[in-house]
Amino acid sequence: MDLNLTGKVVIVTGGAKGIGAAIVKALAAEGAVPVVVGRNEADNLRVTEEVVTGGGQAFQVVAELQNPEHCKSAVEQVLAKYGRIDALVNNAGVNDGVGLESGNYQAFIDSLHKNVVHYYLMAHHALPSLKSAKGAILNIGSKVADTGQGGTSAYAASNGARNALTREWAVELLPHGIRVNAVIVAECFTPLYKNWIQTFEDPEEKLRSIEQVIPLGNRMTTAEEIANTALFLLSDKSSHTTGQLVYVDGGYVHLDRSLSTPK
């Protein structure tokens, strides 16, 4: 299926690793021009060079998205390079474990900057160009906004805000033809997830215990599966889809709990 993404300039925050990198590679394979925005230039270049070596186009911008000025500068650099922005994928973030007991005011505020404030700022600064393109915004979110997790108040709050902003922006941007959707992730094996698993005494057993309660196939979601849905929502093949939270999670969040009980 031709997704009509050829030549589209798409910003992907946190596009150097994990889900972001999978989205970048999938965009390039469809002929789009992904722009990786992330804090580590070496990581950014690793992905963009892989895309270019494979015959695609890509660009990278170094930005610490916790810094509001960096958000503005990142958008300006993309516009200086291409003169347009057709879509924005807000993906960067980290489950940093700022809990109710373990955190404090500054840690909580810092986590909001890591995980949701830059979603707003990137959309705010890219908006004039998105209006011109009648583009799309895609927010990547987490199941913790629905299920809770324990010990991660700031990340849960950020993801609840991501969901709310998805619906709010979908309403606000209706007159401009800009569609806004979200992909909600549950258990996806990314480098950050691998690092978390390694904190357990028996990482392999912990991973098996999680896979057992994922209804569809008793396996983790892949980053590529997230990317495939992301591309559909960014493309005009989903031309009448806006304000939706799309769960790509093997049924983890919404299917009957009896299906998630180890036999």
Catalytic residue set: 155
d(Cα 245, Cα 140) in Å, to the nearest integer? 9
Q: How far is residue 60 from each of residues 40, 51, 52, 113, measured CA to CA in Å? A: 10, 11, 12, 21
d(Cα 234, Cα 70) in Å, to the nearest integer? 24
Nearest Cα to Cα of residue 11 among 26, 41, 33, 42: 33
d(Cα 96, Cα 123) in Å, to the nearest integer? 23
Q: How far is CA 211 from the centre of its chain?
A: 22
Cβ pair 231, 238 in contact under 8 A: no
H helix intervals, the chain: 18-29, 41-53, 68-82, 105-112, 118-133, 144-147, 153-172, 191-197, 203-211, 223-234
Which residues sit opposite 10 in a β-bridge?
34, 87
d(Cα 218, Cα 212) in Å, to the nearest integer? 5
Helix (H) or strand (E) holding 88: strand 87-90
Which residues sit opposite 87 in a β-bridge?
10, 136
d(Cα 30, Cα 25) in Å, to the nearest integer? 9
Residue 68 CB contacts under 8 Å (≥ 6 apart), including other chains: 117, 118, 121
